[in-house]
Amino acid sequence: MIMSDLPVALLVNVKGQAMKKLLSTREVAEYLGVNEKMVYTLVSEKGLPASKVTGKWVFPLHLVDAWVEANTLNYPTRALDNESVHPRLIALAGSNDLLLEKTVALFNRSFQDFLAVFANLGSMGGLRALRRDLCHIATSHMLQDDGTDYNFEFANQECNQVPVMVNFCRREQGFMLQPGNPKGISGIHDLKNSGIRIVNRSIGTGTRHLFDREAKKSGIDPETIAGYHNEVNSHIEVGLEILRGRADMGLGIRPVAGLLGLDFIPLRWERYDLLIARGRFFDKPVQYFLGILQETEFKEIAASLDGYDVASAGKMVYPQ
């Protein structure tokens, strides 16, 4: 694995890790064979996992070990991992998406000697699977707290190295409503009306993160919203709950609203990315999957659905 630019100090929350051994600055310096001054440089410039407790730096030993392994040069050839055991398999995990599902199917039709599979784990679940080398590609659309970008903050927190990011699409997020909008809903502020019931996505999904953010911006305590804990696993399931009359509204993507004939109030266009571990980027199935994004058939599929923009599909977001 090639050692390259690492994020500024990754501060690790050690809550709940009381049983894990913590090293002092002196101890971690001895462990790594460097002087104490170099330890501070590794924290600030190379992302050595650390946390401040009562003003002093502590270093979780298990995370230090993981950091060293992640930044090892000339790493031995993998003998028993997914690349050697299943060289024709590409595993994707993370945020679900209608166009992504169709692209996986297109890949499997186009490359019959390979197999693409997808695990719907939500954006954060995909990043965690990527960190543990359980997938080749994580799919994510996590809006950062400042609202200006996607995925970087969360990739920094979850991964020892910022993965390669390639755009898959831009897609329109908004509120799906029952056909004809019988309750006259105009936006999230209407949720202050106790007569409106929502359907929600699970914790760890980019859509749930966006909903909570918008609710708080509108001065609404999410816990007071009827249906807030009615959680489903996909955008399609959100739409079906609304179509069946079990909810009045739910946050989701325009393509699903169009597919199901639901009303839709647009909220924002979001960037939906493919995040790839640096050591996996040049794996053959990964490159074949990225190549699909330049094909005419992929673009035609996207054009047949409302709410997608694939003008930047396949373009590298990071590193630039």
109 against 144, higher pLDDT: 109
Q: For residue range 216-241, what is the model confidence (pLDDT) as tens digits?
A: 999 999 999 999 999 999 999 999 99
* Whether residue 102 is found in the same domain as residue 225: no
CB-CB contact of 226 with 197 (8 Å): yes
- Domain end residue (candidates: 25, 41, 76): 76
* Whether residue 234 is found in the same domain as residue 294: no
* Whether residue 220 is found in the same domain as residue 135: no
* Whether residue 220 is found in the same domain as residue 192: yes
* Whether residue 213 is found in the same domain as residue 251: yes
* Whether residue 188 is found in the same domain as residue 252: yes
* Whether residue 182 is found in the same domain as residue 250: yes
**Structure-token match 């359907």, residue found:** 199
Q: Quick one: residue 230, left, alpha or beta (phi over 0 = left, psi -120 to 50 = alpha)? A: beta
- CA–CA separation, 94 and 204 (whole Å): 10
HEC secondary structure over 238-288: HHHHHHCCCCCEEEEEHHHHHHHCCEEEEEEEEEEEEEECCCCCCCHHHHH
* Whether residue 19 is found in the same domain as residue 64: yes
Arithmetic mean of pLDDT, 48-60: 84
Predicted local confidence at residue 68, as pLDDT: 78
- Domain end residue (candidates: 45, 76, 107): 76
Q: For residue range 124-139, what is the model confidence (pLDDT) as tens digits?
A: 999 999 989 899 999 9
* Whether residue 193 is found in the same domain as residue 63: no
* Whether residue 163 is found in the same domain as residue 182: no
* pLDDT > 70? residue 8: no
Number of domains in the chain: 3
- CA–CA separation, 17 and 246 (whole Å): 41
Q: For residue range 269-292, what is the model confidence (pLDDT) as tens digits?
A: 999 999 998 888 999 999 999 999
Predicted local confidence at residue 6, as pLDDT: 33
* Whether residue 157 is found in the same domain as residue 243: no
Peptide bond into 319 cis (omega under 30): yes
Percent of the chain with pLDDT over 90: 58
* pLDDT > 50? residue 162: yes
CB-CB contact of 43 with 3 (8 Å): no
- CA–CA separation, 187 and 199 (whole Å): 15
Is 0.85 surpassed by the pTM of this model? no
What domain range includes position 9? 1-76
Predicted local confidence at residue 300, as pLDDT: 98
Predicted local confidence at residue 18, as pLDDT: 40
Give residue 299's Cα distance to chain centre. Answer: 23
Predicted local confidence at residue 78, as pLDDT: 44
* pLDDT > 60? residue 77: no
CATH of the domain at 302: 3.40.190.10
Q: For residue range 172-215, what is the model confidence (pLDDT) as tens digits?
A: 999 999 999 999 999 999 998 778 999 999 999 999 999 999 99
- 265 to 186, 196, 231: CA distances (angstroms): 7, 15, 20
